[in-house]
Structure 1
Amino acid sequence: MPYRSALRSLRLVSWVAAIVQLAACASTNGPVPPKAPPLATVTTLYGQLDQASRSYETALQQTRAGDTQAAQKTLDDSLNQLRDAAARCGATPSCDSQRFFSVFDHLLRLKDGSFIGDQVPDEETSGPPLAPVAGQTGAGSLPEAQRSVTLLRGHQLSELIAMNGPVKAALEMWLTQWRGNLMDAYVNYQFLRQQMWPQYEGEGLPEALLFGIMAKESGGKVHAVSRSGAAGPLQFMYATGLRFGLTDQDGFDTRFDPTESARANAEYVNEQLKAFNDNLELTLAAYNGGEGRMRRLVGDNTSVSFYDPRIYAQVSQETRDYVPEVLAAAWLFLHPDSYNLRFPRVDGQQGSITLKRSASISELTVCLGSANDMQQGWFRTLRNLNPRLDPQQEQPVGAELKIPKSLEKIYAARCADGPWPILASDLHNAVVPVFPNPSPASAPDPVVRYTVRRGDTLAGIVRKHGGCTSESEVARMNNLKFNHVKAGQVLKLPSCR
């Protein structure tokens, strides 16, 4: 599906350069440039830079000695000092701010354990450890996400993310124009984590990579469908999904199942990592632009960089954007605090309810309101946790639905009885008058019929039909669930005449 270009590299600057410019502006009055400081000033700033580099070695020794708490404090103090020195460097002529950014990047990677040798920690946690859910073990037992930096074929994920122009440009987009999308994706992921992360963990892949792909592909919307027919939280095309076991189960397309989709994605990523000699960027390019095309471009030289002009210039603009945007989202998942980003704390522990009265997902959303300070309501979360259910279809008494565990008591208090479920039912069952459009007696048949062929998608059928209708209109005419069609099915389409 199309992506907005984020590669405005001539107008974008790095994190440190942005701080440098702000500091420079704050230190001058109008257009008059500041007087050149004595050489000692630059020397002092570079001395602070050297001190930060020495702190790196100190933290390394502390980690190897087993004192991880002291190492973390050393790193945090060094990063704070480095930010201050980088800001003053911007107001100092002849001071090279890029040197500060290089050390900053180096210290961040040490926080991931990328350079700790045989003392590499498996993951960096966000906040204090949380108690496991009763009866569960492993990643699924943790309601709050831990920023996993597990090994990816012998490398830390951070080592594989080059902090180049395209990635920096993507970082700025996620932190500015797409910031709301990033936050929504993070919240959605927390409630899906117990289903999706164990699939990645089982394949030995980093959680940050899963988040990066999902944030870019769907934003954590389980029922997302692109104009090209890609579907689900990780946007599988129909044929590729079939290859990895995503099939129809009693009329339900398992591309929309978070667990199955994550399993298939992890298998696909590992397959492509093997094909491209563990080159993560080429693997992501294959996921977006097609593995066949990437293998033809790369040939036998699997060590080639995705940014090599022989590759970069030959892929679509969408793929040029996609790869750094996924990596930037993964990087922010690992290092939010270092980019002035604070993800909300979300208790994503899953629970369930048995309906005490019939209700649809839409009715439950109205009834639950903004419980637990969920200002955007619970519709998306309830849909994501119950992907097989039509959100408008009432479920009978006794039906079991998955919900966040934190909502179980709220459901019992608000939605089993009382005024809120009555209001929700009244709104849901409102009758909207429908009047047929009058047409002359001699008018042609307003409907044509099309027999679905193997490989067809609803989006493709609409395009073949001349574009005079929409996917949603055709889905309504044929009572389609999730815009899914089957080979041999006869569809009614509005006449274009």
Structure 2
Amino acid sequence: MPIFYRMFFMLALATLTACAGTGTATTRTSPSGKVDESAVNALYSRLDEDSLRFESGLQLAESGDEARAQAEMKAAMDDLQASAATCASTPGCDGNRFASVYDRLLRRSLEFPSVTNPGSTDVVVDEPTRESSEDSPVIASLPAMQRTITLLKGKELADILVTNEAVKAGLEQWLTQYRPNLMTAYVNYQFMRYKMWPEYHKAGLPEALLFGMMAKESGGRVHAVSRSGASGPLQFMPATGLRFGLGSKDGFDQRFDPALSTRANAAYINEQLERLNGNLELVIAAYNGGEGRIGRLAARSGASSFWDPKIYSALPPETRDYVPMVLAAAWLFLHPERYNLEFPSINAHPGRIKLVEPASLAELTVCLGNTGNMYDGWFRTLRNLNPSLDPQKKLAAGTELDAPVQLESAYARQCVSGRWAQLASELNQATASMTPVRSAARNTASSGTYTVRRGDNLAAIARRSGCANTREIAQLNGIRAPQYRIKAGQKLQMPACSKR
């Protein structure tokens, strides 16, 4: 976008910000409570005229008359800026209507690169790199103020200026009570980045969006399971997971695989970007609230922005919170220095450990200790990188494990033999000896049945049972896949431990 248009759009946005809110219509009332209907209707008429004039300018651009096109578009936006300023001080005028029209016109202008960015050429990126400058494709994909930022295949369609009030509130939450969650998510992601980021890169999507969604969904815990049954680092429901290729292989739920779940997430995002006209915020809302609901709301209301009251106010509180929290986490990923935030420096180069002696992931965690100043140990990282493995199960000598490169030498030094290897083995044997006792206690207490509690899901029940998997419980109780629907108060027959 040339400097003229960049300045022009920045000035328009600065004015629109004063008269458009984030979640509710910013309709000003007079001290007497009266609405000046004639003045409001006149402003709305000007808005319609400016919209038509801008469209006429785009038609001129399409016909090749770029000089007249720029003149018409500038005149339309100048008047839109002036009328938006008047709206801010006119009782009864809804500023969101001006912001919504601006958003639509901006996106329409970007369909004509000869006008908005003459002489531009596509740039091929050979390697995925994290960018933190204002030229970052991630920054170009994030929302700013009331406008919707569009994104398709990583192509920059708009410039980022500032975040809106909802996203700012999300920033405060991440920087205060959720700060430990944010830091943990960052560390978890850095170790999994080489598995996850290439899938987004191939799909033409920005890394910050991936981080924002993962931070909000699971905090980078690959084996996270929600109360509703959503699973994995990006929390796919069973049916949606199957739709995007996440099934079961050799008894392993592929929703827990960081690379495969990222590939599925990227496919979902791109599918919904196409379906929702490239509207990133609505796509994020669909990921949380369901594409059916978001699609119906957008079609019924005619609104093009997530922040439009016709959409925003009709969404459940969870989704209204989810979108700005994802965007805020993505923004912090890009610009921690602006918020007095410093992410830890992580040596996340991938490596491999080849077991010399049989060992479980739990044993490796004990003998590795706090190697590399990992204050909470390596259990989560080893599980995240080897999601299909039972952490308590002994793995045969010769088994190769994915692990951060700094653990290669630490394993040889601390886990093959010596006091820490011996300690790890003793503790693991004690845990193994207690497992049948715990399982028997569970079965005796339930007498072969389990009463579903509020918030339960079949995967969590199976995990807690210690002797059954989701499919076994479902088959025994006639529960249909892939949703595995259960309800509070329902009594489930539990498989005997001998079945496993």
TM-score clears 0.5: yes
User: Do the aligned partners of residues 161 and 122 (structure 1) sit closer, same or farther apart at CA in structure 2, a change above 3 Å counting?
Assistant: farther
Deviations 1:377-436 (A, max 9, x none): 000000000000011111111111111011101101111111111001111111449497
Q: Helix, strand or coil for the counterpart of 2:401?
A: strand
Deviation at 1:489, TM superposition (A): 4.5
- 2:475 paired with 1:488: yes
Deviations 1:132-167 (A, max 9, x none): xxxxx833xx7xx55553563376488468611110
Query: What amino acid is aligned across from residue 452 of structure 2 in structure 1?
Result: V
1:404 is matched with 404
User: Do the aligned partners of residues 372 and 120 (structure 1) sit closer, same or farther apart at CA in structure 2, a change above 3 Å counting?
Assistant: farther
User: Do the aligned partners of residues 485 and 232 (structure 1) sit closer, same or farther apart at CA in structure 2, a change above 3 Å counting?
Assistant: farther
User: Do the aligned partners of residues 355 and 116 (structure 1) sit closer, same or farther apart at CA in structure 2, a change above 3 Å counting?
Assistant: farther
2:127 is matched with 138
Q: Helix, strand or coil for the counterpart of 1:277?
A: coil
Deviations 1:25-65 (A, max 9, x none): xxxxxxxxxxxxxxxxxxxxxxxxxxxxxxxxxxxxxxxxx
Q: Helix, strand or coil for the counterpart of 1:384?
A: helix
| Aligned-partner Cα distance in 2 for 1:282–1:397 | 49
Query: What amino acid is aligned across from residue 475 of structure 2 in structure 1?
Result: G
Per mean C-alpha deviation after superposition, the further-off stretch among 468-477 and 282-291 is 468-477
What's the TM-score, normalizing by structure 1? Answer: 0.63
> Which of 452, 455, 460 does residue 462 from structure 1 map onto?
452
2:316 is matched with 316
Show the 5 A alignment for 1:107-256. 138-139=127-128, 146-147=131-132, 149-150=137-138, 152-153=151-152, 156=156, 159=159, 163-256=163-256
User: Do the aligned partners of residues 469 and 209 (structure 1) sit closer, same or farther apart at CA in structure 2, a change above 3 Å counting?
Assistant: closer
| Aligned-partner Cα distance in 2 for 1:318–1:328 | 15
Given that residues 149 and 157 in structure 1 are in contact (C-alpha distance below 8 angstroms), is that contact kept between their aligned partners in structure 2?
no
Given that residues 474 and 492 in structure 1 are in contact (C-alpha distance below 8 angstroms), is that contact kept between their aligned partners in structure 2?
no
Deviations 1:100-155 (A, max 9, x none): xxxxxxxxxxxxxxx9997899899xxxxxxxxxxxx833xx7xx55553563376
User: Do the aligned partners of residues 268 and 486 (structure 1) sit closer, same or farther apart at CA in structure 2, a change above 3 Å counting?
Assistant: farther
| Aligned-partner Cα distance in 2 for 1:438–1:308 | 51
1:69 is matched with none
1:15 is matched with none
Given that residues 303 and 310 in structure 2 are in contact (C-alpha distance below 8 angstroms), is that contact kept between their aligned partners in structure 1?
no
User: Do the aligned partners of residues 486 and 208 (structure 1) sit closer, same or farther apart at CA in structure 2, a change above 3 Å counting?
Assistant: farther
User: Do the aligned partners of residues 332 and 170 (structure 1) sit closer, same or farther apart at CA in structure 2, a change above 3 Å counting?
Assistant: same
Query: What amino acid is aligned across from residue 185 of structure 1 in structure 2?
Result: A
| Aligned-partner Cα distance in 2 for 1:438–1:186 | 37
1:67 is matched with none
The unaligned stretches of length 5 or more in structure 1 are: 1-114, 125-136, 450-460
Query: What amino acid is aligned across from residue 299 of structure 1 in structure 2?
Result: A
The unaligned stretches of length 5 or more in structure 2 are: 1-115, 141-150, 478-491, 496-500
| Aligned-partner Cα distance in 1 for 2:220–2:445 | 44
| Aligned-partner Cα distance in 2 for 1:290–1:182 | 25
Query: What amino acid is aligned across from residue 493 of structure 2 in structure 1?
Result: K
| Aligned-partner Cα distance in 1 for 2:231–2:314 | 26
Deviations 1:188-233 (A, max 9, x none): 0011111100000001000000000000000000000000000000
Query: What amino acid is aligned across from residue 275 of structure 2 in structure 1?
Result: A
Show the 5 A alignment for 1:279-290. 279-290=279-290
Per mean C-alpha deviation after superposition, the further-off stretch among 149-158 and 233-242 is 149-158
Per mean C-alpha deviation after superposition, the further-off stretch among 153-162 and 395-404 is 153-162
Deviation at 1:257, TM superposition (A): 0.4
| Aligned-partner Cα distance in 2 for 1:217–1:161 | 26
Deviation at 1:345, TM superposition (A): 1.2
Given that residues 279 and 303 in structure 1 are in contact (C-alpha distance below 8 angstroms), is that contact kept between their aligned partners in structure 2?
no
Show the 5 A alignment for 1:399-478. 399-430=399-430, 431-432=433-434, 434=437, 446-448=447-449, 462-463=452-453, 474-477=462-465
- 2:353 paired with 1:353: yes
Deviation at 1:487, TM superposition (A): 5.1
| Aligned-partner Cα distance in 1 for 2:388–2:312 | 40
> How many equivalent pairs are there?
347
2:362 is matched with 362
Given that residues 222 and 257 in structure 1 are in contact (C-alpha distance below 8 angstroms), is that contact kept between their aligned partners in structure 2?
yes
Given that residues 277 and 302 in structure 1 are in contact (C-alpha distance below 8 angstroms), is that contact kept between their aligned partners in structure 2?
no
User: Do the aligned partners of residues 312 and 395 (structure 1) sit closer, same or farther apart at CA in structure 2, a change above 3 Å counting?
Assistant: same
| Aligned-partner Cα distance in 1 for 2:426–2:174 | 41
Given that residues 476 and 494 in structure 2 are in contact (C-alpha distance below 8 angstroms), is that contact kept between their aligned partners in structure 1?
no
CA RMSD of aligned residues (A): 3.4
User: Do the aligned partners of residues 350 and 285 (structure 1) sit closer, same or farther apart at CA in structure 2, a change above 3 Å counting?
Assistant: same
Higher normalized helix content (fraction of residues): 2
Given that residues 228 and 456 in structure 2 are in contact (C-alpha distance below 8 angstroms), is that contact kept between their aligned partners in structure 1?
no
Deviations 1:230-279 (A, max 9, x none): 00000000000010000000111100000100000000000011111111
User: Do the aligned partners of residues 310 and 302 (structure 1) sit closer, same or farther apart at CA in structure 2, a change above 3 Å counting?
Assistant: closer
